[in-house]
Amino acid sequence: MTRKIDTITLGIVWDHLISIADEILLTLVRTSFSITVREAWDVGAVIFDSLGRPIAQGSQSTPAFTGTAFYTIEKLLQKFPVEELQDGDVIITNDPWIGTGHIPDVNVLRPVFRNGSIIGFVMTITHLVDVGGRGSSTLNKEVYEEGLLIPPIKIYKRGEVNEDLLDIINNNVRAPEQVMGDIMANISGTYVGGLKLNELLDQYELDDLQGVADGIIRQSDSAIREKIQAMPDGVYSNQLKVETQDEEALLLKCSLEIKADTITVDFAGSSSIVPYAINVPICYTRSWCAYTLKCLTTPSIPNNLANVLPMEVVAPEDCILNAQHPAATCGRNTVGWYVVPLLMGAFAKAIPEAVQAETGMAMTVVFNGKKQDGRKLLDQYFATGGIGGMTELDGQQTTPAPTNCALVSSEIWEDETEVAVLERRILPDSGGAGEYRGGTGQEILLQNNTGNPINLSLFGLRTEFPASGYAGGKEGGLREFRINDDAISPKGIHTLGPGEKFTIQEAGGGGFGEPAKRPFEKIVEDYRNGFISVIGAKKDYDVEIDPDN
């Protein structure tokens, strides 16, 4: 029998659920093998009730993972109905159209039992360093090239490991120790989550999570809808261009209809899928729509099912934002991340004071080669530009957006890869000028000290179309890549020879508000902090700075 939960108890148990989700993430990170998980935190942890409704997530979970999790569990429970699951079962998949939109991300789900009945589920999600195939690259033409696709399958049955599945995975990946170590870390996280959920029910003398789940979702949904209700009804549109693998740019379009306490987003008019691995399944598109709405309505309320309830997302089949099987999707983030600025631009026409100028965004490079002693080098380098300014707030420098992965420290990166970080420095004038300045990008200089050639698989963006400013703010600087002194394409695979240097210049965020309105003392402070130069102060703000005084 489900016990009724009063408001105070609900708040306490809700906080406790989040702390459990955080402990799941910590277990996952501390037992993982790759720096992608261990240091960059490209991870997620979600707790569900027995109906499969997400009710709590790990605080450091990436928005893409928590935004797709509700859809993932729905698909998994269609394959494995609740009444057929048994204690000790663990389900795994990396299917892009069921999980997070591309093959490198693995989803692991465990049902949590109590007195013979399922009282909830725990899911962990991580980005694996390799899944075989051609490897991570925008050059892939179809999903079949992108590696081993694991359909929903039990990796544990009644507590017994599926050795045949482990053998298949081990024999299809380039770095089996890292990959299997991370998969087992996922499984460990779900195990800890199950123990902690049962302890929570014991502590608060609850039979199940249903009363808590109902309260969490009801209160969150009401709060989000109240904010939507305050927005002016209407249809608001926006479009922007995105660079691709070749010279022809993609066009992303959205129509945003606000009606009472609901929102419909339609991506009709966007470009079709392309023969490169930058196509985006609708699950990933939907996750960034939910993220954008959450940022603009109730950013302080912990994420749960209510995030997706007020918003309907539609897109034509085989549009770039609703790619169908067998489209290649490995680099889906190089297009999918643009959903956030695309929607922000539409919302700017309804609630201009609430939006954020466009960001310089993050980017990834996969390093694939050998170390000096012949051991495999296969790691992902994560770097980021500046974020956009907004009302009464400058954009932060070199801050991940819209994802929230962490940047790997130079010391750990060098020790792990034998690729030296020679320099990391702020790029003055890369942040868009404005009353509230856009965040600056950075320049990163790396050197191949392995003694062997390394293949660099680039997933660069913001190399042709800079982050736009809002409300009169100026655009940010562009991203650039060089090997030695030669500019290279932001996508595809490039070879970095022994001793050669690889430079990344990160993009800046757009400014917010007219530059002429920025206070003089803020401009001087920007110069002293290295965010703008003498030339930039004069050009963007008409302020002359004497560097000697």
**391 inside domain:** yes
| Strand boundaries in 341-418, DSSP class E | 362-370, 376-384
pLDDT tens digits for range 281-325: 999 999 999 999 999 999 999 999 999 999 999 999 989 999 999
Which residue matches tokens 């996508």?
Answer: 491
Per-residue confidence (pLDDT) for residue 549, from 0 to 100: 74
Q: Is residue 243 part of a domain?
A: no
CA dist 166 and 164 (Å) reads 5
Residue 280 is assigned to a structural domain of this protein: no
Q: What is the pLDDT of residues 235-276, one digit of tens each?
A: 999 999 999 877 789 999 999 999 999 999 999 999 999 999
Report pLDDT digits (tens) over 228-242. 999 999 999 999 999
pLDDT tens-place string over residues 137-173: 999 999 999 999 999 999 999 999 999 999 999 999 9
pLDDT at 547: 85
Compute the C-alpha angle 122/99/201, nearest 5°.
10
Q: What is the predicted pLDDT for the residue at 60?
A: 94
Residue 463 · residue 429 · CB < 8 Å = no
* C-alpha to C-alpha distance for 69 and 48, rounded to whole angstroms: 10
* pLDDT at residue 2 in the model: 55
Mean of the pLDDT values across residues 468-480? 97
Give 172: exposed, middle or buried? Use CB within 10 Å, 0-12, 13-18, 19+. middle
Using CA atoms, how far residue 337 sits from 20, 59, 86, 286, 515, in Å, is 29, 20, 38, 11, 27
**Is position 277 within any domain?**
no
Contact at 8 Å (CB) between 419 and 447?
yes
pLDDT of residue 346: 98
Average pLDDT (375-399) is 95
- Per-residue pLDDT for 482 more than 70? yes
Among residues 155, 185, 220, the one where a domain terminates is 220
Exposed, middle or buried: residue 542 (CB in 10 Å: 0-12, 13-18, 19+)?
A: exposed
pLDDT category of residue 6 using cuts at 50, 70 and 90: confident
Mean pLDDT of all residues belonging to the chain: 96
The structure tokens listed for 450 are: 């392995």
pLDDT tens, 63-119?
999 999 999 999 999 999 999 999 999 999 999 999 999 999 999 999 999 999 999
Q: Percentage of the chain surpassing pLDDT 70?
A: 99
Asked whether the beta carbons of 347 and 256 are under 8 A apart, the reply is yes
The whole-number average pLDDT for the span 472-494 is 96
CB-CB contact of 384 with 408 (8 Å): no
Position 295 in a domain: no
pLDDT average, residue stretch 404-422: 94
d(CA 302, CA 213): 13
Quick check: is 338 in a domain? no
Residues 385, 431: contact at Cβ < 8 Å? no
Q: What is the pLDDT of residue 3?
A: 62
Average pLDDT over residues 173-177: 95
* Residue 527 is assigned to a structural domain of this protein: yes
Q: Which of 159, 193, 220 is the last residue of a domain?
A: 220
Q: Average of pLDDT values for 408-412?
A: 93
Q: Evaluate if pTM is beyond 0.75.
A: yes
pLDDT of 26 higher than 70: yes
- List 483's β-bridge partners, or say none: 486, 502
For residue 30, give its domain range: 7-220
pLDDT value, residue 407: 87
Report the pLDDT value the prediction gives residue 429, as an integer from 0 to 100: 97
Query: Which residue, 220, 243, 266, sits at the end of a domain?
Result: 220
340 is a domain residue = no
Domain count, the chain: 2
Please give the pLDDT value at position 245: 79
Q: Span 194-220, mean pLDDT?
A: 96
Q: Choose among 187, 153, 182: nearest CA to 168.
A: 153
